[in-house]
């Protein structure tokens, strides 16, 4: 069975400082892993996706994530936070079927 | 850029009433999904739909729920007799062939009074 744990429910960073949102996964199959972002009153937007081609995945808006099989982690990072990054971020895993298993989400706050 | 759309954005209904939530997936996609997010909780899978039939459903998706693709463009979720606990944000998603990437709509907020 697949599961996802997002280790922080809230993260606050100052504008211009690095962002780290943590995600650990569990999967009986070779997983696909995703990060989605949800801005207030908006839908879920795909940030990036891992599918075994490369362990470091680059996404939109300067975000990237590194797949570490030994640590079963898929943490999301960005070198320099922008005010527009304030949103909720979801880590997602799929396995044998295409059904998404979501983490509980991390709300990112960016301070001026 | 093509996107998934959902209507209405917000629906208020009385307990026991039927509701139909509508979605227009991306036009060349073949896989369709419904998820829900109860306020303060995680997004949960409800059902997946492919080739005009349900391919997988969760325990939440009981006999009160049904899905339909009534024409070539719409994908609907019907809740036959709503309960208070059905109040949630409902997301539709679609995906193309041979990919597990899903594209989500903006959601319908359902409030059951």
User: pLDDT (tens digit, 9 = 90+) per residue, B73-112?
Assistant: 899 999 999 999 999 999 999 998 878 899 999 999 999 9
Residue B30 has which token pair? 């073949």
CA B48 – CA A96 distance, rounded (Å)? 14
Chain B residues with CB-CB distance to A under 8 A?
4, 31, 33, 35, 41-45, 48, 55-56, 91, 93, 95, 100-107
Q: Which residues of B touch A90 (CB under 8 A)?
A: 43
B43–A102: do the CB atoms touch at under 8 Å? Answer: yes
CA A59 – CA B28 distance, rounded (Å)? 24
Q: Which residues of A touch B107 (CB under 8 A)?
A: 43
Segment B13-28 shows an average pLDDT of 96
The partner residues of B48 in beta bridges, in order of sequence, read B33, B56
- Residue B91 neighbours by CB under 8 Å, 6+ apart: A43, A44, B6, B34, B35, B36, B37, B43, B104, B105, B107
Lowest mean pLDDT among A96-100, B26-30, B52-56: A96-100
CA A53 – CA B60 distance, rounded (Å)? 34
User: pLDDT (tens digit, 9 = 90+) per residue, A25-63?
Assistant: 998 777 899 999 999 878 899 999 998 778 899 999 999
Q: Which residues of B touch A46 (CB under 8 A)?
A: 101, 103
CA B28 – CA A39 distance, rounded (Å)? 26
């Amino acid at each position: 069975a697949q599961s996802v744990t997002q280790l922080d429910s809230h993260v606050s960073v100052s504008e211009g400082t690095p962002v780290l949102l943590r995600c650990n996964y569990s999967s009986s199959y070779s997983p696909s892993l995703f990060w989605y972002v949800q801005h207030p009153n908006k839908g879920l937007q795909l940030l990036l996706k891992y599918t075994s081609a490369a362990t470091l995945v680059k996404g939109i808006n300067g975000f990237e994530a590194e797949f570490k099989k030994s640590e079963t982690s898929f943490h999301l990072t960005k070198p320099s936070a922008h005010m527009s990054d304030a949103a909720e971020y979801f880590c997602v895993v799929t396995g044998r079927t295409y059904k998404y298993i979501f983490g509980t989400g991390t709300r990112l706050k960016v301070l001026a | 850029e093509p996107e998934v759309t959902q209507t209405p954005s917000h629906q208020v209904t009385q307990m026991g009433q039927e509701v139909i939530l509508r979605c227009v997936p991306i036009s060349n996609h073949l896989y369709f999904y419904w998820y829900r997010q109860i306020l303060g909780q995680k997004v949960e899978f409800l059902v997946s739909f492919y080739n005009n039939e349900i391919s997988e459903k969760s325990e939440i998706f009981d006999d009160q729920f049904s899905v339909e693709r009534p024409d070539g463009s719409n994908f609907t979720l019907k809740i036959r007799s709503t309960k208070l606990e059905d109040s949630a944000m409902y997301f539709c998603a679609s995906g193309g062939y041979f990919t597990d990437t899903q594209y989500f709509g903006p959601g319908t907020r359902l409030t059951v009074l």
